Every structure is written in C-alpha cells, then in structure tokens.
Homo-oligomer: A and B are copies of this chain.
Amino acid sequence: MSSAAPGATVGPLPRRQMLADDVHEAIKALIMENAIAPGARVSIDGLARQLGVSPTPVREALARLESAELVVKEPLRGYRTTPLLTREQLDDLYQFRLLIEPWAAGRAAEQADDGGRDRLEAEMRSCATPADDTYDSYKALAAHDTRFHVLVAELAGSTQVRRAFERTHCHLHIFRLHYDRGLGEQTLSEHRRITRAILDRDPTAAEAAMRDHLETACYERLRPVSEEAGGPTRVDPQG
C-alpha cells in the first residue's frame, strides 16, 4: 500500500546507470551530428581515449550500433560508419516509406485520440517559421521532420510500423546526402496539410497528403544524386 494517487502509474523507472549506455548515446550523437564522415573508420581505442573510458563499453556500444546499421564491422579491421546510400538504396528507401507512411497517416486519421491530436498540433505549433538559411536552422527543421513522421506512425497505433520507420534512419541518410538543400517552407506546408487531414479524421485525404509529401521529397532528393548516376556511387574518403 503505497501512498500513490489513484490513477497515477508508477512506471518501471528507467534505471540508467550504465557507462556503456552513455557511450552508446555519445557515439550515436557523433554519427547523427555528422561529426564522423560517412564511411570513415571508427577506432575503438580512439573513441575510448576520447571519451575517457576503457575499450569494453565502446565495443559493446559499437556492437549495438552495428545492429542498428549505423556502423558496419569488418573483422580484424574495425568499424566504419555506414557509407552514403547509393541511388538504388535511396530509391528503395522511398519506396518503403511510400508503402508504410501513407498507410500510417490514414490510420492516424482514423484512430488518433484527443491526446494524440493535441501532440500533433503542438508539434506543428512548435516550428512556426524556420525560413532561415543557417545550418542550425536546417538542423532544427530536420529534427522537426523526424519527430513529425515518428509521431504520425505512433498515432497510427502500430508499434511495428513505427519501429520499422525508425530503423530506416532515413533522416540521417537524407541529411548526410545534402544538408544544404533547403526543405523549407514547402515541407512545412505539406506537413500542415497532413495534419489538417488527420485532425479532420479524413483517412483518404491523409493518405494522399502523405503520399504527395513523400513523392515530392523523393523527386527533390533523387535529382542531385542522378548527376553521378551510372557508377555504384560509393564513397571512399580514405582513397
């Protein structure tokens, strides 16, 4: 009999007190912030020294990042960050997004409860106008884009879809391919259109809006890569 208020769930309390966990987050942040070039080598001992820990937690963190496909391991040679996506891989990625995200938008329009819709409105309110051309501004917009798409998947009520989306790390890949190209006002207006359809509980409109949004983005993204089409479009910073 604790003195918990009725209706207050106690929660399983996170229990975060592992060095390896912090190391994992630190390395993930390094990759997400593009502080390590795509395809560049990631030294275990180097990171250990840099972070002031022993190699063991670094090794554990890198093993997890490998499963998340943020780094790749070459036996007896070490880890590298995942190379840039080829044109085929980017195409494949958007095909997958077109398969799951319009569906998610439709289900979100059908099933989102009041709390969910509030969160969606709050997210849209939180980034009224970016328009700035600075690096930080672009980064903030990219972060909003990530949150928005994850939120839509969450509102659809499917854990599997949300995780499948998150595991693509599509924003990381897009960011690395061209963090300069402004996905500015147009992105926001498309997000607003999706949001409106969800708030209006109009699944058909939500699906269509999401599909249009992705197809627009897909065209935007694929254009610059096609300059060097033909070859495998592999990056090798060392060579």
Contacts and interface: CB of A to CB of B under 8 A. Distances in A.
Contacts of A9: none
Contacts of A66: 64, 67
A18 B67 contact: no
Contact of A160 (B76, B92, B103, B160): B92
Contacts of A103: 99
Contact of A99 (B60, B92, B161, B167): B161
Interface centre among A15, A66, A96, A167 (most CB of B within 10 A): A96
Interface string A61-97: 1011011100000111000000000000100110110
Contact of A63 (B60, B89, B99, B100): B60
B92 A159 contact: yes
A59 B64 CA distance: 11
Interface string A20-63: 11000000000000000000000000000000000010011101
A172 to B, nearest CB: 14
10 contacts: A15-B74, A17-B76, A56-B59, A61-B63, A63-B67, A92-B159, A93-B160, A96-B158, A96-B160, A164-B164
Contacts of A63: 20, 60-61, 63-64, 67
B18 A76 contact: yes
Given A63-B63, A67-B67, A167-B167, A75 B21 contact: yes
A28 B100 CA distance: 29
Contacts of A216: none
Nearest to A68: B67
Contacts of A16: 75
Nearest to A89: B159
A168 interface: yes
Contacts of A20: 63
Contacts of A158: 92, 95-96
A156 to B, nearest CB: 10
Interface string A155-176: 0001111001001100000000
Given A63-B64, A93-B160, A164-B167, 5 more contacts: A18-B76, A63-B63, A64-B64, A89-B159, A99-B99
A12 to B, nearest CB: 10
Nearest to A168: B160
